[in-house]
Amino acid sequence: MRAISEDLSQKISDQVESKKEELIELLTKLIAFPTVSPPARNTNDVQEFIKKYLEDLGFKTEKWDVYPDDPNVVGILKGEASDLYNSLIINGHVDVAEVGDDKAWDQSPFNTYIKDSYIYGRGVADMKGGIAASLIAIKLLKELGVSLNGDLQFQSVIGEEVGEAGTLDCTEKGYTADYAVVVDTSDLHIQGQGGVITGWITVQSKETYHDGLRRKMIHAGGGLKGASAIEKMMKIISGLQELERHWAVTKSYEGFEPGVNTINPAVIEGGRHAAFVADRCALWITVHFYPNEDYEVVIKEIEQHILAVAAADPWLCNNPPQFTWGGKSMIEDRGEIFPSLEIDPEHPGTRLLADSFEKLLTQKPKIGMSPTVTDAGWLGRAGIPTVIFGPGKLEDAHAVNEKVEISQLVDFTKVLAVFIAEWCNTTRKEANQ
């Protein structure tokens, strides 16, 4: 049994159409805040704007700094019967990708403009379009007098573009719900995701030697049991490639091309001067893994394999590699984690979201996996059933002349508004039947 009538669904759809200009105006205001990350530390003003917008809609808000001048904002609209009805998180990040040379853009990246059927500007697809449409959907429900029995929570977070995981901060503060929708770029597909973790592997010699002593390390009878950390890192890289090929053969996940689970040797730093044998070498790697894998298990697999490689080497066995994984910021500590996210198409929330999509847009949604990563994995890791569902195409995110189709923004607003009204007015008992 639906929580709202067909007539109300149609009324919501009609009202969204009438609010198209208001939606564009709100998105234009959000884009005007240049929240580029990196360098980051620039989101306070837009978060203050969103905080006030939520408070005007009756939300009780909390705002706190994750980093200086980069705060999260969470708003909660208490339901009329919170103990009995489903609660919902709407989550989105306000930081946007760096612009590069803005001379390559047709117009200023932070002044939106409309051309043909698209609106242009940095962040319209990734992902201020999803935030603006979500806020309009919530406002519309209030204006129509649609009351919600379950709690509605809006999370406006920072740091997604550089792995600073404002969403993780929300979960660590105890914010939770029965279901979550991350309104990031998905082309209106309902998606889960694989995961990403970065790590540093470091080889460090106990001694430092002059370059002139290298001959004693590499020739018979030299008698010096030393080695170049750079050359020993070559063995570790070879070991990583061996493991990567093994994963490609032995692991797979529906919805992903074979071999998506990669180990990329992204950055290497080693040696101190041409007059020394390199006594230190550090390798920065990026690891992609499947939705059914946990990053802690993936870390153990890599460490076990590389330590076995080291154990078979006469120098590395006494100078084993050291590992540093993840991090909370690519800016602050050169590391990041994006947990993977599996989705259950039969979860009541996912079924209801798909049903709302089909009722309003007269077609079935595509349910699958994102080829990229978002903050959604942190919500899933916190035990909250979560999906990615938002406007915008991945090829337009981060692009010069970033754009999103206005009709898709409108369609997303319709679906989300109806879904909110349905989910937050469905009892937990009904949802699980």
Catalytic center residues: 95, 160
Are the C-beta atoms of residues 425 and 82 closer than 8 Å to each other? no
Query: Could you tell me which residues are beta bridge partners of residue 89?
Result: 153, 180
Cα separations (Å) of 353 from 92, 139, 140, 240?
17, 19, 18, 41
Both tokens of residue 400?
Answer: 């010069």
Are the C-beta atoms of residues 236 and 309 closer than 8 Å to each other? yes
Cis, peptide link before residue 339, omega less than 30° from 0: no
Our CA angle for 203, 205, 210, nearest 5°, is: 125
Cα separations (Å) of 270 from 234, 278, 283, 311, 412?
12, 7, 9, 22, 49
C-alpha dihedral (108, 109, 111, 115), degrees to nearest 10: 90
Q: How far is CA 180 from the centre of its chain?
A: 14
Which of 265, 315, 284 is closest to 201 using CA atoms? Answer: 284
Helix residue spans in 323-400 (DSSP H):
348-361, 376-381
Q: Is 96 helix (H, G, I), strand (E, B) or coil?
A: strand
List, in order, residues 6 or more apart from 199 with CB less than 8 Å away.
Answer: 284, 285, 287, 299, 302, 323, 324, 325, 326, 335
The single-letter code of the amino acid at 176 is T
Both tokens of residue 226?
Answer: 């030393």
Burial class (CB in 10 A: 0-12, 13-18, 19+), 2: middle
C-alpha dihedral (267, 281, 240, 285), degrees to nearest 10: -30
* 309-314 long-range Cβ contacts below 8 angstroms, 24+ apart: 309/235, 309/236, 309/238, 309/239, 310/236, 313/232, 313/235
